[in-house]
Amino acid sequence: MVSFAVAVPPSDFPQVFVGTAELLKHVRAQFLLDWQGIHGAAHWSRVLDNGLRLAERTGARIDVVTLFAFLHDSRRVDDGSDHGHGQRAAEYAVELRGRAFEIDDAGLTLLAAACRGHSDGLTEAEVTIQTCWDADRLDLGRVGRRPNPRLLCTAAAREPAIIEWAYQRSLGRANRTLGRV
């Protein structure tokens, strides 16, 4: 059982990673797509890094941001638009709470909402949800698209330096950690 009850400092990636190892076992066992693909582990790793960096500015819940990174694309059935994968991820998050991780009810509500709406192009939401969506959208360079500031939710994500940092990483020059799991 993994507990995210205690917030982990954004700069302390190793603790977050160790705490999510069991969750990743569950997720990988049912993942239908290429683990090394555009919606696989390397993407999730960068979404996590993006989210933790944004959270330092937005005050988003780190446990929710972390779980979102690992779950939001975990129930895709293809690498296209796959309408419905957000809803399936939200349902999966509810299913895994208590089995693969612990989170309070408010956190689960945020996590499910973030997963459910992450590919609908929305920008208005509670700030933790916005941070999750921005973390994902900042990684569009992997599919040849530079993030559009007008489609980002938070001022932190719209900063040109953040967009450039995330964009360069999304091109595959600085993948780390989960891509090798």
List residues near Fe ion by CB under 5 A: 73, 119, 136
Buried b (16+ CB within 10 A) or exposed e, 20-53: beebbebbeeebebeeeeebbbbbbbbbbbbbbb
Which residue, 21 or 77, is less far from Fe ion as judged by CB? 77
Which residue, 102 or 123, is less far from Fe ion as judged by CB? 123
CB of 139 to Fe ion, least distance (A): 7
CB of 86 to Fe ion, least distance (A): 6
Which residue, 63 or 136, is less far from Fe ion as judged by CB? 136
CB of 136 to Fe ion, least distance (A): 4
Q: Nearest-5° angle of CA 66, CA 177, CA 77?
A: 65
Buried b (16+ CB within 10 A) or exposed e, 61-91: bbbbbbbbbbbbbbbbeeeeebeebbebbbe
Which residue, 66 or 119, is less far from Fe ion as judged by CB? 119
CB of 92 to Fe ion, least distance (A): 13
CB of 5 to Fe ion, least distance (A): 26
CA–CA gap between residue 37 and residue 104 (Å, rounded): 32
Which residue, 26 or 72, is less far from Fe ion as judged by CB? 72
CA–CA gap between residue 149 and residue 46 (Å, rounded): 18
Structure tokens belonging to residue 94: 């509810």
